[in-house]
Each structure stands twice: as C-alpha cells, then as structure tokens.
Amino acid sequence: MIQAIRGTKDLLPEVIRQWQFIENVFRTVSDKYGYNELRTPIFEKTEVFSRGIGEGTDVVNKEMYTFKDKSDNSITLRPEMTAALVRAVLQDSLHTKQSTNRLWYFGPFFRYERPQKGRQRQFHQFGAECISPLYPESDVEVIMLADDVVKTAGIKDYKLLLNTLGTVETRKRYKTALTEYLHSIKDTLSQDSQNRLDHNPLRVLDSKAPEDKEAVKNAPVILDYLDAESAEHFEKVKELLAVTDINVEISPMLVRGLDYYCHTVFEFQSSALGAQDAFGGGGRYNGLFQLLGSKKEVPAVGFAMGVERLLLILEASDEFKLESDAPDIFVAATDVDYIKQAQITANKLRAKGLKVIVDLHRRSIKAQMREANKINSRFSIVIGANEIETNKINIKNMAKSEQSEYPLDTIENFDFK
Ligand code: HAM
C-alpha cells in the first residue's frame, strides 16, 4: 500500500471539524481587527526565502524543499509566509496604494525537519502581518490580535515571551560582545554552533542542542546593549501592553530562528506541547522589503501560529468540546421503490436547513435503524407504502425513544428540536 510522505498527515473527517473550528476563529478575530485575507502560491523562486529568511538560518540551510523545475529554475515550497507575502505586496505595490496593509493568511507550509509530536514536514500556519509605520502601536496591535486568537480558541495555559532585537546598530554591538563570549566557551558548544559562531552568533542562542542551552546561560543579553531608539521602542511596546489584559514575560534570550527580525520579537509557548513548545511567534521586520528588492525601507510587523500545535493544546484540555456533527434526521425506506420518496422528503427538510441522511444501501429496515443509531441521528423516519397511502409518518426521537405521528406531506413543519 502506498503511504503518505513521512511528516505529512491526512486530515480525516473525524478531525476536520476541529480544523474548521480553529479556521473560523482565525477568520472572525482577524476580521475584528480589520485584517484582510491574502493567498499566495505554494511555491516561489528560491531566492524569495534564501534572501528573505537568511542564508545562515536552519530553515534555509537545512529545511527547505528546493528543486529544479523542467526549465532549470530553482523553486522552493514555502517554508513560511512572511517573505512570500512581502514579495506579493511589492509585486502588486500594495504598500504604495494604501498607507496601512493589514493582512492575514492560513495554509500549508513545508520544512524538512525531523518529524515528532507537533513537528511535521507539511504543517499549517495562521498568521497576520501589519505593513504600517514604524511606531510601536503596530507591534502591539499584532500582539493583541495574536493573543485574542489564542484566548478565543479557548487556550488558557500559555506564556507569551517578549524581547527586542533593537536596531541594526544595537545588534552589531551586541553580536560583537556575544561572539567574544562564545569564543571564550567555544569548546563547550555543539559542532553546529561552533561553525556558525562567527557569521551568525544569534543562532547559537536559539540552538536546541542541550550543550548550547547550558553554555549560553551566562551569555551577555541584548537588553544591556540597546541604543536610545531601541530602548524607546521597547519601552513603548511594554507600556502599551501593560494596560491590556495580556501577560508578557520579558525573555532576554529570545532571538527567534529567522534573520529578518529587528526590534520587537515574541513567542507563544505552552507546556502541553513537550519539546516543541512554541506554538506561535513573530516580530518586526523593517529590513525585509529591501532584502526583496524595495528601494525604500518598509516597516512591518507580524506573527504566525502553528495550527497543528494549537490543536494539540486544545485536545489536551478537557474543556475543548465541539458541537456534534450528527445528522438531524435519518430517512429510511421500507423497500427500494420508496428510496425516491425518501429523497424527495429529505430535500424538503434540507430546504429548512436540516441535516438529513437517506440510506443508500438498499438494505433492511433493521439494518437502516442500526445505522441511524450508529451515526447518532437525532430523529429517524421510515417511508413506505403505508406512510404514503395514509399520509401519516412516525417521527422517532432517537435519544428519547419517543414517536410522534405527523402528516407526511407537511413534514417540513414538524418541530425537530
Ligand atoms: P516560525 O517561528 O518559524 O515563524 O513559525 C511559526 C510557528 O509555526 C511556530 O511557532 C510553530 O508553531 C509552527 N511551525 C513551524 N515549523 C513547524 C513544523 N515543522 N511543524 C509544525 N509546526 C511548525 C515564522 O514562520 C514567521 N514567518 C512568523 C512571522 C510572521 N514573523 C513575522 N511575521
């Protein structure tokens, strides 16, 4: 038998309702904040991501699904949305047509990572991006939207970590200090971190290797290196968040895994997830538009959340209950000749907005009733010669095992409560 590719999952009907629930949360919350949905192609020219995300990152170095198409173009399945979205905004000049672009997205993304709980090779993200002035109010708007999504979904037990990566100047000074420190403890670092120490020291801070985690505990923190502009931006973000109901924890080592960030960075974490505890993250990326060809800086800030991880958290909580997807009415026919009448009756009821199933197996009434029970239909009716002749039908409330007699030709007026 042919199996699905490792690290991918089919979304079977038994879980799809959870997905529809969460998608509905994304849509309704985004809408409240005036964000509009954007959809871009699943694949892009490789340079969108290699330039946008950064050559020194794990995503670009190790995780991209990159291939040559038949015309020898290098193509990459999108590993994240921000770079692709910026490409689209630039291509369609959205940033010059409107002073603020509030955009959200939902869809599949691809990273060649080692699959484990909450980590797949095809996964899904919901995210939102705000292309707007440099002011910290935009950072806070997207954090509020993200937090609103988490709370509206029903997640209570989580942490929101906040840090700043400051201006280019700040990062330069900090990187010098960090590199110096990392050199002093070089032997204790993983081979990967030793290799990237000089060209991308920030990546050592978010390395998952246990020896790196231990080694960076005493590393210098960026908060001690902020210039005036970085400090002012960060203070304002904290001040604006302090008057909301959002609890943030300042996390000076939070650097995020992608190179395009500056100033505000944040991450949502949940202990329900195990090793892959981050279920969302984002930050400001003022330099990304220029990396992808804009002549001018275009400030922007956003976040993305992993949908599989959000659902894992919800599944782990006892309170997560979805409305039943059982049908309202199951229509059985006494014999093949009456299936036509059953379908006509079903359509009358569907026109009233009811969910109605007609049995398609040409089987005995007993077998049809077993099926009605199995799928938890709320009501059942049986149509046959007798019902048509007398224009009387028994409507059975399955849970209560009660029957009500009703005229067949006006069955749509029965109160199926
Ligand atoms: P990211 O932190 O790489 O950020 O991914 C965001 C979220 O996607 C993660 O927190 C995680 O929940 C989920 N995720 C990532 N990789 C996987 C995987 N292999 N399996 C399952 N879930 C995964 C970004 O992608 C940025 N574009 C976020 C952003 C938007 N920054 C600014 N705007």
Cα–ligand 1 centroid distance for 225 (angstroms): 27
pLDDT of 295 above 90: yes
Per-residue confidence (pLDDT) for residue 321, from 0 to 100: 85
Ligand 1 centre to CA of 281 (Å) is 7
How much is the average pLDDT of 41-60?
94
Domain ranges in the chain are 13-167+227-315, 329-413
283 lines ligand 1 (CB under 6 A): yes
Fold (topology level) of 329-413: Rossmann fold (3.40.50)
Mean pLDDT in the chain?
Answer: 95
Give the chain as a 3 state SS string. CCCCCCCCCCCCHHHHHHHHHHHHHHHHHHHHCCCEECCCCCEEEHHHHHHHHCCCCHHHHHHCEEEECCCCCEEEECCCCHHHHHHHHHHCCHHHHCCCEEEEEEEEEECCCCCECCECCEEEEEEEEEECCCCHHHHHHHHHHHHHHHHHHCCCCCEEEEEECCCHHHHHHHHHHHHHHHHHCHHHCCHHHHHHCCCCHHHHHCCCCHHHHHHHHHCCCHHHHCCHHHHHHHHHHHHHHHCCCCCCEECCCCCCCCCCCEEEEEEEECHHHCCCCEEEEEEECCCHHHHCCCCCCCCEEEEEEEHHHHHHHHHHCCCCCCCCCCCCEEEEECCHHHHHHHHHHHHHHHCCCCCEEECCCCCCHHHHHHHHHHCCCCEEEEECHHHHHHCEEEEEECCCCEEEEEEHHHHHHCCCC
pLDDT at 208: 83
Decide whether 13-167+227-315 matches 329-413 in CATH topology.
no
Q: What is the pLDDT of residues 187-207, one digit of tens each?
A: 999 998 998 888 889 989 988
Q: What is the mean pLDDT of residues 161-185?
A: 95
pLDDT band at 289 (very low <50, low <70, confident <90, very high): very high
Supply the pLDDT for residue 200: 87
What is the atom index within ligand 1 of the atom nearest the CA of 113?
19
Residue 324 is predicted with a pLDDT of 84
* CA 59 to ligand 1 centroid distance, Å: 10
- Checking if the pLDDT of 284 tops 90, the result is yes
Q: How far is the CA of 85 from the centre of ligand 1 (A)?
A: 14
Q: What pTM, to 2 d.p., does this model score?
A: 0.94
Asked if residue 84 has pLDDT above 90, the reply is yes
Domain 13-167+227-315, architecture per CATH: 2-Layer Sandwich (3.30)
Residue 305 Cα to ligand 1 middle (Å): 6
Cβ(167) – ligand 1 distance below 6 Å: no
Residue 400 clears pLDDT 90, i.e. is over it: yes
Is 257 touching ligand 1 by the criterion CB < 6 Å? yes
Locate the ligand 1 atom nearest the alpha carbon of residue 82 and give its number. Answer: 27
Which of 213-217, 287-291, 305-309 bottoms out in mean pLDDT, i.e. has the lowest? 213-217
